[in-house]
Amino acid sequence: MRSISLFLRSVTKSLILIITLTFAGVYASHAQSVAEGATLYKQKCTSCHALDKKVVGPALKGISDRHTEEWLIKWIVNAPAMIASGDKEAVAIATEYKPLVMSAFPELTPDNVKSILAYIKAEETKPAAVAGPVSGSGDGSAATSEQGVSTLELIGVISIAIIALLVIFVLNRVIKSLERVALQKQGVVLEEEVVRGSAYKKLLKNKKFIFFIVLILIIFLGSAGWKGMWETGVHTGYQPVQPIKFSHQLHAGINKIDCQYCHSGASKSKNASIPSLNVCMNCHNYVQATEKYNGEISPEIQKIYKALDYNPETKVYGPNTKPVEWIRIHNLQDFAYFNHSQHVKVAGIACQKCHGPIQTMSEVYQYSPLTMKWCINCHRETEVNHKGNAYYDRLIAAHSKLKNGEKPTAAVMGGLECGKCHY
């Protein structure tokens, strides 16, 4: 009987491990493929296709049912070649949409295409109520469900895991009961279980145990207090709700818009500056993101139009304009001076050095602690590129004058820069 229980326990542990690894693998691979597909779909497909309606090309909903996966991979990678080869399905599509021809995407691998198809399939199975705007999605960017499996699938996985754990718990209880019965039949006298209350009372009277608990509490509370005081004024992870859900993931990540196209002040002034809505309108005169909103303009883009009193149908601006009240995220103490241009233009530091992977953020948050220690460590590690740098050229010129016995003025050392006096 003992060997049977040991065998059942080993089998139980193996089952738990297999179930966990299986679910984790399925979830991770599916989530990764759908997330990759969402990104590629926005980059390659949205200019000509929508999921549920015909745009330039056909609606993509149900495309996996209309064509085989093998055919779709060949078609998406090189449609012109398939048409030229005389493929019946390719020729039929080309005839229907003539003179338009689908572009070739030789940079896409078969796995990339499968990810796009997985994303389309995930969108097909998503309930209609979820198709509206989602917090942090920006102007029509991917909803949360695009970044992983659907809610129904996740609930199913969790339910199966809970049921499996309950079954294992019951089996263990049954095994223990059978072991006790078997031992009793063999004449083995079993000790009664010790009442736990008495053990607790003994522990409470044990001075060494009490001293140990008090010592642990003092260490814990002291560490927590020290950490709290040390991190006062540090707002790492700060993520306020903005008036417009602007997605850096969509604009800087997927569409690869350069940071300084919007934050033009970063290379020439102390502040990076928040772009005016006119900069937004350079694109959103044409890009209106109607796909996910039943043909209506994205509500986030409508906020831009409302602030500018702009009519997208007549393309006329009205007089009732009002500013967008953005909430500042990155704040330095009043006694700290930071100049963006010195770091961006002179030092050539990338925005991600301080702001983190901004191109992956659907909603911006403070990535770095912005503490004095953090800044000093960066200055210790960052090498100075002095070649062709006007700032260091002036320093060298000043040192040359000192060597020759001349007296350089403050102007030579940059004393005429506005930022020296005007914060």
pLDDT band at 4 (very low <50, low <70, confident <90, very high): low
pLDDT band at 109 (very low <50, low <70, confident <90, very high): confident
Closest among 145, 146, 141, 147 to 289, alpha carbons compared: 141
- Rounded to an integer, what distance in angstroms lies between the CA atom of residue 153 and that of residue 156? 5
Query: Per residue in 306-356, pLDDT tens?
Result: 999 999 888 899 999 999 999 999 998 888 889 999 899 888 889 999 999
Higher pLDDT, 266 or 50: 266
Q: How far is CA 365 from the centre of its chain?
A: 11
Quickly tell me which residue has 């502040």 as its tokens. Answer: 271
Question: What would the mean pLDDT of 19-24 be, rounded to a whole number?
Answer: 58
- Rounded to an integer, what distance in angstroms lies between the CA atom of residue 265 and that of residue 274? 9
Most confident of 128-137, 184-193, 265-274: 265-274
Q: Is the pLDDT of residue 113 over 80?
A: yes
For the chain, give the secondary structure using H, E and C. CHHHHHHHHHHHHHHHHHHHHHHHHHHHHHHHHHHHHHHHHHHHCCCCCCCCCCCCCCCCCCHHHHCCHHHHHHHHHCHHHHHHHCCHHHHHHHHHCCCCCCCCCCCCCHHHHHHHHHHHHHHHHCCHHHHCCCCCCCCCCCCHHHHCCCHHHHHHHHHHHHHHHHHHHHHHHHHHHHHHHHHHHCCCCCCCCCCHHHHHHHHHHCHHHHHHHHHHHHHHHHHHHHHHHHCCCCCCCCCCCCCCCCCHHHHHHHCCCCHHHHCHHHHCCCCCCCCCHHHHHHHHCCCCCCHHHCCCCCHHHHHHHHHHCEECCCCEECCCCCCCCCCCCCCCCCCCCCCHHHHHHHCCCCCHHHHCCHHHCCCCCCCCCCCHHHHHHHHHHCCCCCCCCHHHHHHHHHHHHHHCCCCCCCCCCCCCCHHHCCC
pLDDT band at 26 (very low <50, low <70, confident <90, very high): low
30's CB contacts (< 8 A; 6+ apart) are 118, 148, 149, 153
Tokens, residue 203 = 């522990």
Residues 326, 242: contact at Cβ < 8 Å? yes
Question: What would the mean pLDDT of 401-414 be, rounded to a whole number?
Answer: 82
Higher pLDDT, 87 or 103: 87
